[in-house]
Amino acid sequence: MSHPSSGPATVDAAGIVAASDPHVVVEMLARLQPLERADKFRKLPARFAFLVFRQLEATHQQELLEQLDAEQVRRLVEEIDPDDRARLLLEVSEPAAERLLAGLSAQERELTEQLLAHPQESAGRIMSPEYLTLQRAMTVDEALMHVRTFGREAETIDVLPVTDDDSRYAGIVALSDLVLAAPQERIEQLMNVDIRPVRADEDQESVARWIQSADLLAAPVVDDEGRLVGLVTVDDAMDVLDVEEWEDLSRTGAAEPLRRPYFSASIMRLARSRVLWLLMLAIAATLTVNVLNAFEQTLETIVALSLFIPLLIGVGGNAGAQSATTIVRAMAVDDVRFSDVTRVVSRETRVGLLLGSIVAVLGLLPVWWFVGRELAIVVCLTLVAICTLASLVGSFMPLLARRIGVDPAVVSAPFVTTIVDATGLLVYFLIAHAVMGI
Amino acid sequence: MSHPSSGPATVDAAGIVAASDPHVVVEMLARLQPLERADKFRKLPARFAFLVFRQLEATHQQELLEQLDAEQVRRLVEEIDPDDRARLLLEVSEPAAERLLAGLSAQERELTEQLLAHPQESAGRIMSPEYLTLQRAMTVDEALMHVRTFGREAETIDVLPVTDDDSRYAGIVALSDLVLAAPQERIEQLMNVDIRPVRADEDQESVARWIQSADLLAAPVVDDEGRLVGLVTVDDAMDVLDVEEWEDLSRTGAAEPLRRPYFSASIMRLARSRVLWLLMLAIAATLTVNVLNAFEQTLETIVALSLFIPLLIGVGGNAGAQSATTIVRAMAVDDVRFSDVTRVVSRETRVGLLLGSIVAVLGLLPVWWFVGRELAIVVCLTLVAICTLASLVGSFMPLLARRIGVDPAVVSAPFVTTIVDATGLLVYFLIAHAVMGI
């Protein structure tokens, strides 16, 4: 997938990017090494440099800030929106953050510091404090005049919140509705009062999902007293959802999210994002060694039992991962809550029973032919039991995680698989004991 | 996560929803059974019903269309945007689709049919054909008058594409810029020519990612001759990305995406979305039975070797899943392409070697203490080999999949795990053979 319809970006003889589309330059810069990137970036014309900078990934912005000189930083930074600046400040190193703040006017610095006062991952962190408000009593004509006079200072004017006299949030007017309305209509009549405001300390992801499901261009943010403090715009909501989904996907794949483009992460950094997961799961997997050790005598008597160990725990792990992934997603989009726990676990257990039965019935004859009747019965009964168990564990663990305040994706697929490995082996030997009398 | 700041939705004695926020009603309806949902929906006031309908998930819309009478359907359908209607038409049953089309005016029906002529998952399918164009030669004042006169018929006027005389796309003007501009300025000077148009047959996901990374409210869509045919708006882009990420997550969890809310999917449907994956992976896992069978004699001699089988394939599977997930994501956001294959596989292999070495070094002493020196050396050497191998396979498979036109997420974590299981066992016995001389 390349950038839609854009020609290849080229670097001319002097090393200056010869492309008029900032997005093409961003793509090209993203594929360079950090030093090379800073070098190319310095050669961009000033205004164009800002357009490019704004579209760079946060980690690339950070690297550049660390490598540009004070004057270059100042010129860039004063044009960035306060919410993007707040995000940058948290990600850059101490000296880069100081240079960044030093480049700001007193007013801009205050706006940025206000955003940073909100809790991490809250709506307050990603909202734009530079919005433009309308008053209930204004006419459409007055409102448009107000927009024309002060609109340039706001981050967005696509959506205009309306406040009461005491700056309490009252409703919202889309610029498009304002343009289409009759000149003498009152804002009070025009404004949409169905869009409820979100609180500044609410979770980013839930705000972003709301913007998505209600097709908003921006959601109004209020403080504890209902006073308007900012707007969360749709582009920031998109970025939040992207990051959240990426975190879920990473953890389902047993790794911490990278938070930077693939090639700009070093081998050490890639390993670091994975090593803890791998070790924890390996330690959890020593459970399987203990289970097998407890049944070592059984294994010595019937070595053929060991032939099916990887197959059985593989199927169990997959069934568990299926349930876990489904439930993690259903929770993310708020289809499922902890209060649904009995209903969810009972549904998933029935799904697991059904799946295990299908796999067992289809597998019975081949296994019979391969190792004989008795062992085939043991293997197939285990398949049914292990799939049921895996779906039960796989659906319960993410719900439990959310309940105790852990990201459900953290305990999803890989952890479920490891738990199912150990308990599945236990079930296998117990069934073998019952059927084969060993 | 509940809807931000909204109170609990209540159903009054008459069964009519007593909540003024459509979003709250949508949430409440989503949790009901289909028949109950249709029943409640019929009782909503007409205009409010549309607001609710528009925000319902596509599957719920579909169910409702199948249960409402012709007049109710007609009233709902005429208010839906053509692109949303096209999506609905594809998802509903034959009779519901006919009722839906019957409810449309000739002009609306034609717009919908035009959208359906574009390939699946293309920009043409999700674009809005109801946009408003400006001409290069217009002044800002004329353009605003044009917007006021015709704006109500367009799906969006937040972004206004500009065309040449032969209706070729020339640039784009944001409504906000139009409002802020000097009345006599020409559109030609105001328009942004840096936003390149996308082609109608381009992939939805790449268009959506571009809208996200460039922070656009809408992207212009052109046909093969560069004539403007529509706009892809940011809300549609958000939905596309959400579905795509969900598909990746599902396949990483070895299931087909559900495409409907959790509780509205039956047990049979849940099982159906998983059973094929489970069977395919189980069949692939019979490889492990064959490998173990080939080494049955070795296992009979040293039963202790079997103790570590689940642990080793577990660690290998996790390392493989880590690489696969990282690469699937890096490809989705276009950080990595097939042409990077050598660089990616070599990086991942080094990461795997590093991870395997760390796990092996930390595991050496405990395993030594548990089963003796020789077996400990075998287990730890296998850990190094299996992690390296897993990372290699895990990074190569998704790249290969994309190359041959398969969704990389399909062959990611679960398939990589299964392949690594079998090859890992082989490596285990070969190392045991070399070290222990069996």
Report the gap between the CA of B247 and the closest CA in chain A (Å). Answer: 10
Check residue B401 and give its pLDDT.
87
Q: What residues of chain B lie within 8 A of the CB of A297, using their CB?
A: none
A233: left (phi over 0), alpha (psi -120 to 50) or beta: beta
Q: State the Cα–Cα distance between residues A374 and A382, nearest whole angstrom.
A: 12
Mean pLDDT of chain A: 83
β-bridge mates for residue B222, sequence order: B199, B228
Check residue A178 and give its pLDDT.
94
Give yes or no for a contact between B70 and B99, defined as CB atoms under 8 angstroms apart: yes
Q: What residues of chain B lie within 8 A of the CB of A27, using their CB?
A: 334
- Residue A4, pLDDT > 50, answer no
Question: For A386-433, what is each residue's pLDDT tens digit?
Answer: 999 999 999 999 999 888 887 777 667 778 888 899 999 999 999 999
A224 reaches B (C-beta below 8 A): no
> B329 vs A5: CB contact, 8 Å cut-off?
no
Residues 61-120 of chain A whose Cβ lies under 8 A from any Cβ of chain B: none
Mutate to test the interface with A, among B27, B79, B306, B395 (most CBs of A within 10 A): B306
Question: For A5-56, what is each residue's pLDDT tens digit?
Answer: 333 334 443 333 444 567 678 778 877 777 888 888 888 876 677 778 777 7
Q: State the Cα–Cα distance between residues A173 and A217, nearest whole angstrom.
A: 11
> B282 vs A152: CB contact, 8 Å cut-off?
no
A67-81, A113-127, A141-155, A380-394, range with the lowest pLDDT: A67-81
Comparing alpha-carbon positions, the chain A residue that sits nearest to B248 is: A249
Comparing alpha-carbon positions, the chain A residue that sits nearest to B211 is: A235
Per-residue DSSP letters for B370-430? HH-HHHHHHHHHHHHHHHHHHHHHHHHHHHHHHHTTS-GGGGSHHHHHHHHHHHHHHHHHH
Q: What residues of chain A lie within 8 A of the CB of B20, using their CB?
A: 194
- Residue B18, pLDDT > 60, answer no
Q: State the Cα–Cα distance between residues A389 and A320, nearest whole angstrom.
A: 8
Most confident of the ranges A67-71, A262-266, A285-289, B233-237? B233-237
pLDDT-based confidence at B205, cuts 50/70/90?
confident
Q: Which residue has the higher pLDDT, B25 or A294?
A: A294
Tokens matching residue B238: 């958000």
Residues 1-20 of chain A whose Cβ lies under 8 A from any Cβ of chain B: 1-6, 20
A168-177, A386-395, B177-186, B295-304, range with the lowest pLDDT: B295-304
Side-by-side strand order, sheet with B198-199: B198-199, B218-222, B228-233
Give yes or no for a contact between A179 and B144, defined as CB atoms under 8 angstroms apart: yes
B275 reaches A (C-beta below 8 A): yes
Q: What is the mean pLDDT of residues A89-105?
A: 70
Name the residue with tokens 């660390």. A66
B311 closest CB neighbour out of A158, A288, A321? A288
Check residue A253 and give its pLDDT.
74
E strand or H helix at A330, and its extent? Answer: helix A309-332
* Helix pair B309-332, B341-371: axis angle to 10 deg: 160
> A413 vs B252: CB contact, 8 Å cut-off?
yes
Q: Torsion over CA of A174, A180, A182 and A183, rounded to 10 degrees?
A: 70
Q: State the Cα–Cα distance between residues B69 and B43, nearest whole angstrom.
A: 13
Mutate to test the interface with B, among A144, A252, A298, A403 (most CBs of B within 10 A): A252
Q: What percent of chain A has pLDDT over 90?
A: 32
Give yes or no for a contact between B358 and A275, defined as CB atoms under 8 angstroms apart: yes
Residues 279-338 of chain B whose Cβ lies under 8 A from any Cβ of chain A: 279, 281-282, 285-286, 288-289, 292-293, 296, 299-300, 303-304, 306-311, 313-315, 317-319, 321-322, 324-331, 333-336
Q: State the Cα–Cα distance between residues A60 and A37, nearest whole angstrom.
A: 9
Q: What percent of chain B has pLDDT over 70?
A: 90
Query: With helix as H, strand as E and coil as C, how does A216-276 read?
Result: CCEEEEECCCCEEEEEEEHHHHHHHHHHHHHHHHHHHCCCCCCCCCHHHCCHHHHHHHHHH
- Residue A3, pLDDT > 80, answer no
> A175 vs B194: CB contact, 8 Å cut-off?
no
B32 reaches A (C-beta below 8 A): no
- Residue B208, pLDDT > 70, answer yes
Q: How far is CA A136 from the centre of its chain?
A: 37
The vertex-B397 CA angle with B391 and B398, nearest 5°, equals 105
A241 closest CB neighbour out of B157, B199, B242? B242
β-bridge mates for residue B174, sequence order: B159
β-bridge mates for residue B231, sequence order: B128, B220
Check residue B160 and give its pLDDT.
95
- Residue B169, pLDDT > 50, answer yes
Report the gap between the CA of B148 and the closest CA in chain A (Å). Answer: 5
Residues 163-182 of chain A whose Cβ lies under 8 A from any Cβ of chain B: 174-176, 179-180
Q: State the Cα–Cα distance between residues B394 and B148, nearest whole angstrom.
A: 56
B5 closest CB neighbour out of A199, A268, A281? A199
Residue type, A432: A
B247 reaches A (C-beta below 8 A): no
Q: Which residue has the higher pLDDT, A80 or A169?
A: A169
Q: How far is CA B154 from the centre of its chain?
A: 28
Pairing of strands A198-199, A169-174: unpaired
Check residue B6 and give its pLDDT.
38
- Residue B8, pLDDT > 50, answer no
> A322 vs B277: CB contact, 8 Å cut-off?
yes
B50's CB contacts (< 8 A; 6+ apart) are B75, B76, B79
Q: Which residue has the higher pLDDT, A350 or A165?
A: A350
Rg over alpha carbons for chain B, rounded to the nearest Å, is 29
First-to-last alpha carbon distance for chain B, in angstroms, is 58
The number of beta carbons lying within 10 Å of the beta carbon of residue A15 is: 11
- Residue B17, pLDDT > 60, answer no
The number of beta carbons lying within 10 Å of the beta carbon of residue A2 is: 13
pLDDT-based confidence at B9, cuts 50/70/90?
very low
> A241 vs B246: CB contact, 8 Å cut-off?
no
Q: Which residue has the higher pLDDT, A339 or B57?
A: A339
A vs B, Cβ pairs < 8 A, gives 401
